[in-house]
């Protein structure tokens, strides 16, 4: 034990940061009044920077973990709603014939799973102070944000083309109405025409091509009854469903805009937390090495 202390000298047992500061100084300089004061005057700024870096890191770490915990719980909620819709409203599917799997339940399940995965990566990265996980969280969230921004820009830039394509695709889907294996699409059209008091995509005559007769589904009737779709057009809704739903969305555009803005702000907040904590981890590793 005595030989070990003699070999290490007065610097034995010092933290790495202090050992570096004392490198090259005479062993005797660590003892004595004035020498000791000089040593701590050199070490003090380094210790202060290390302490400040660790303190800031702990604060950002708490905020990052709390944010991602809420993010993860939000993903759990979205996934739960999607599973509930799939289990209880499994027959309610998409209206599109080109994208039969693009149902509300499937969209919520995929979105919830993705949000949960990103939130989990952020939580573990915050707890472990892992730079790789923090950077992964930042990149994933940035990609989602850029994808949403790109889709929004393209939607407004090509609104007319999207309108024409959507109406064409919906009219094509009408021919699947009432056919085997398309119960979901049939139920979806029934709910929309009943709730929005409309008939057909652009006109009730869209159904004439489907039935090859002057007939519409019973859900188009002003007063529902069995086989009421065979009656005169005066007993049917005249409003086109596409324009009616589009008008409803425009009337609720403020709510949609607020939701989109809140989503963007949450993502920007997550990006800020991730990058701030990443920088604090780098500083702490540098000052306290």
3-state secondary structure of 221: strand
Q: Which of 55-64, 96-105, 231-240, 256-265 has the lowest mean pLDDT?
A: 96-105
Answer yes or no: are the C-beta atoms of 190 and 219 closer than 8 Å: yes
* Residue 11 pLDDT level (bands cut at 50, 70, 90): very low
Torsion sign across C-alpha atoms 262, 267, 271, 273: positive
Phi-psi region of 96 (alpha: psi -120 to 50; beta: other; left: phi over 0): beta
For the chain, the straight-line distance linking the first and the last C-alpha, in angstroms and rounded, comes to 28
Using alpha carbons only, give the angle 262, 132, 68 rounded to the nearest 5 degrees: 30
User: What pTM value is reported for the model?
Assistant: 0.71
Please tell me the distance from the alpha carbon of residue 184 to that of residue 192, in angstroms, as a whole number: 12
Backbone angles phi, psi at 216, to 5 degrees: -135, 165
Domain boundaries, the chain: 58-288
Q: What digits encode the pLDDT tens for the residues 191-235?
A: 899 999 999 999 999 999 999 888 999 999 988 888 888 878 888
Torsion sign across C-alpha atoms 60, 65, 70, 71: positive
- Strand segments (E) across the chain: none
Q: Which of 43-57, 69-83, 110-124 has the lowest mean pLDDT?
A: 43-57
């Amino acid at each position: 034990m005595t030989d070990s202390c003699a070999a290490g000298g007065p610097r034995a047992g010092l933290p790495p940061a202090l050992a570096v500061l004392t490198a090259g100084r005479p062993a005797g300089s660590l003892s004595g009044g004035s020498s000791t004061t000089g040593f701590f005057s050199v070490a003090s700024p380094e210790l202060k920077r290390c302490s400040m870096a660790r303190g800031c890191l702990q604060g950002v770490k708490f905020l990052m973990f709390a944010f991602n915990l809420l993010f993860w719980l939000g993903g759990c909620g979205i996934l739960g709603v999607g599973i509930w819709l799939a289990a209880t409203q499994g027959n309610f599917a998409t209206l599109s014939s080109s994208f039969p799997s693009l149902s509300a339940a499937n969209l919520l399940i995929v979105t919830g799973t993705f949000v949960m995965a990103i939130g989990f990566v952020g939580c573990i990265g915050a707890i472990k102070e892992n730079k790789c996980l923090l950077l992964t969280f930042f990149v994933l969230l940035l990609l989602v944000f850029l994808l949403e921004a790109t889709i929004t820009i393209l939607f407004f830039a090509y609104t007319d083309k999207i309108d024409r394509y959507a109406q064409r695709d919906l009219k094509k889907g009408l021919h699947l109405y009432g056919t085997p294996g398309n119960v979901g699409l049939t139920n979806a059209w029934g709910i929309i025409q009943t709730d929005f008091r409309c008939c057909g995509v652009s006109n009730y005559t869209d159904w004439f091509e489907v039935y090859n007769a002057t007939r519409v589904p019973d859900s188009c009737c002003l007063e529902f009854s069995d086989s009421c779709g065979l009656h005169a057009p005066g007993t049917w809704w005249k409003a086109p469903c596409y324009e009616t739903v589009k008008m409803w969305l425009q009337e609720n555009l403020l709510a949609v805009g607020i939701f989109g803005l809140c989503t963007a702000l949450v993502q920007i907040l997550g990006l800020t937390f991730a990058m701030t904590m990443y920088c604090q981890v780098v500083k702490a590793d540098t000052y306290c090495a």
